[in-house]
Amino acid sequence: PGSCPALCECSEADKSVRCVSRNLTELPPDLPPYARSLFITGTRLARLPAGAFPTQRLPHLSALDLSNNHLRVVEAGALAALPALRQLDLSGNPLASLSPRAFGEGGSPLEELALRGALRDHGVLLSLAAALQSGALRNLSSLELADNGLLLLPAGMFTALPALRQLDLSNNSLVGLRNVSFQGLGQLQSLNLSDNSLSMLRNSTLAQFRGLSALRRISLGRNSWVCDCAIEDLVAWLKESDQVEGKEALTCAYPDKMVGKALLKISVLDLNCSVPTDLPSQLQTSYVFLGIVLALIGAIFLLVLYLNRKGIKKWMHNIRDACRDHMEGYHYRYEINADPRLTNLSSNSDV
């Protein structure tokens, strides 16, 4: 039970096992049960099957580093039989398949998950989102998704992570956060959004940041900020907020006349906005006001009709009598034209 696998180095004193840069193609079957830290990196390991870690074989394993291998497939239940696992690093693997049930059905004790450069496949990103949303990783306090070339994130991806304190989304290609909800992250302390392609942050996102009382560090550096009228809300938030790290260094990337200008030094005159920046909300307000005005006009019209109901009734009777007299005249002439005798009499009378 205390033996060390071939191609690995073990330290019982440190409770660690290292299998680094070896020609391994599968997990060693005889890992010592005293291991608390297991490092298997730089190998040819390509698959992590179900039951890869036999039940109760590693009851004390708390840190597992599987980074920079050739790992492509992580099957359902592959990481379920590690009751003490707190840290997992899968960074640098070309993952093509990650089962949403890889961490088990009943929930994992995992607290730190690193996937730097491992989510290049969009299907793997969706599988991870499904695992997060299922609540299987609700104990996560740190999640690293940096260096994955992400353009957009699945809607509601982080809604079931109430214990999350650190979220790293840096060095991606994020162009917006419209689908991202941070409202369930009441414990979030650090959010890294640097080195992306963000051009602006919407009011809804800024409102979420304001509502996270524990959030003390937001990194927004090296993004492509477009300094037009749409950035007014972001600039106002930056000036009032103490959450943004290094906000003095944030500068405009577009348009040409604003390149290099610090966001904190932008004024309304610089932007030269001739139309409201939040046009949809302005239109909605206008429609509501128009509806109120029309309702008021309708109420006044009905009130006038009610106060003049007698006059209106008399006017209607007069119109009715006039129409009746007119119709009787038409009826009389019709009877004359229809009777030949009356027609001759009418002609003689005219003569």
Q: Which tens digits make up the pLDDT trace of 94-141?
A: 999 999 999 988 789 999 999 999 999 999 999 999 999 999 999 999
pLDDT at 144 over 60: yes
Q: What pLDDT does residue 351 have?
A: 42
| Domain of residue 105, residue span | 8-270
Tokens found for residue 167: 């979220």
Q: What pLDDT does residue 236 have?
A: 93
Q: How many domains would you assign to the chain?
A: 2
| Average pLDDT rounded to a whole number, residues 17-32 | 92
Cβ-proximal residues to 115 (8 Å cutoff; 6+ apart), any chain: 90, 91, 128, 143, 144, 145, 148
Q: Are residues 102 and 166 in the same domain?
A: yes
Q: Are residues 308 and 190 in the same domain?
A: no
Q: Are residues 288 and 215 in the same domain?
A: no
- Give the CATH number for residue 122: 3.80.10.10
Beta strands in the chain (DSSP E): 9-11, 16-20, 37-41, 47-48, 63-65, 73-74, 87-89, 97-98, 112-114, 142-144, 166-168, 190-192, 217-219, 225-226, 244-245, 252-254
Q: Are residues 293 and 174 in the same domain?
A: no
Q: Are residues 156 and 297 in the same domain?
A: no
| Average pLDDT rounded to a whole number, residues 263-273 | 86
Query: Does residue 304 sit within a domain?
Result: yes
Q: Are residues 287 and 147 in the same domain?
A: no
Entry pTM: 0.76
